[in-house]
């Protein structure tokens, strides 16, 4: 089992942040998100279920009043808060809740008087969105979990990470290219980036989406899944780039 650890303080730990929002029913919730390279320099990447409930409810299914806090840690907001201008997710998620290929989303933030997100953070993650690729050696996943597999100490207040190799969730099924990461992080880490690549060019290759549970909604393993980041993910970031 891959046990998550707190991300060390220092340069780079503001690339990921805590994403607050209200559900369509008015409940305050949060996910995780990350700065992603974009033409507007104000875009974050997260999971589709962090922006829309994915049940075919159309406009009524969108979450509201997003607030992004890069580098959040134990109540501290080192770079302040950012509001959202608009959000994008594939119709395969918003209409059908397709967690296999489409639980992905981008949120374009409003610029602030002190600049765009990428300028204030000082960096943004690149991305590699390609079909049928699931295996990445030496990857990491980061997020703000409030629960975890066989863990009782996760409190949503710390940026945590797991390091290791990703794998094809179901290698015998050519139609299921979800990315699997052995990591004990659970709720709250949703939307956190799967990152891979050299230190001078780290790229988002996935985003924490879901885990396997039994009929009583109890988690069965430490497997953490991302939707395939292929054509749907590419279409979303391309749309955000045009915003």
How many CB atoms within 10 Å of residue 169?
Answer: 20
pLDDT at res. 242:
84
What is the secondary structure of 182-196 as a DSSP string?
A: E--B-TT-TTPEEEE
pLDDT at res. 131:
92
Q: Is 51 exposed, middle or buried (0-12, 13-18, 19+ CB in 10 A)?
A: buried
Q: How confident is the model at residue 35 (pLDDT cuts 50, 70, 90)?
A: very high
pLDDT at res. 18:
98
pLDDT at res. 174:
83
pLDDT digits (tens, 9 = 90+) for 144-192: 999 999 999 999 999 999 999 999 998 878 888 999 999 999 999 999 9
pLDDT at res. 172:
79
pLDDT digits (tens, 9 = 90+) for 95-122: 999 999 999 999 999 999 999 999 999 9
pLDDT at res. 217:
85
Q: Torsions phi, psi of 117, nearest 5?
A: -55, -50
Q: Is the pLDDT of residue 243 over 70?
A: no
Structurally, at CATH architecture level, domain 16-124+232-241 sits in: Beta Barrel (2.40)
pLDDT digits (tens, 9 = 90+) for 43-95: 999 999 999 999 999 999 999 999 999 999 999 999 999 999 999 999 999 99
């Amino acid at each position: 089992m891959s046990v998550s650890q707190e991300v060390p303080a220092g340069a780079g730990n503001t690339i990921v942040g805590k994403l607050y929002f209200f559900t369509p029913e008015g409940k305050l919730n949060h996910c995780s998100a990350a700065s992603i390279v974009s033409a507007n320099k104000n875009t974050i990447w997260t999971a589709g279920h962090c922006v829309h409930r994915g049940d075919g409810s159309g406009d009524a299914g969108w979450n509201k009043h997003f607030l992004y806090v890069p580098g959040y840690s134990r109540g501290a907001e080192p770079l302040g808060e950012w509001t959202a201008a608009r959000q994008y997710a594939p119709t395969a998620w918003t209409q059908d809740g397709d967690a296999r290929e489409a639980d992905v989303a981008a949120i374009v933030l409003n610029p602030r008087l002190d600049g765009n997100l990428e300028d204030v953070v000082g960096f943004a993650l690149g991305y590699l969105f390609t079909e049928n690729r699931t295996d990445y050696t030496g990857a990491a996943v980061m997020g703000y979990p409030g629960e975890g597999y066989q863990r009782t100490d996760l409190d949503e207040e710390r940026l945590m990470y797991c390091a290791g190799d990703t794998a094809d969730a179901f290698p015998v099924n050519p139609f299921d290219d979800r990315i699997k990461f052995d990591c004990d992080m659970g709720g709250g880490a949703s939307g956190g980036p799967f990152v891979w690549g050299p230190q001078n060019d780290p790229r988002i290759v996935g985003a924490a989406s879901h885990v396997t549970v039994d009929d009583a909604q109890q988690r069965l393993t430490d497997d953490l899944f991302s939707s395939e980041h292929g054509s749907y993910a590419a279409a979303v970031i391309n749309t955000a780039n045009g915003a």
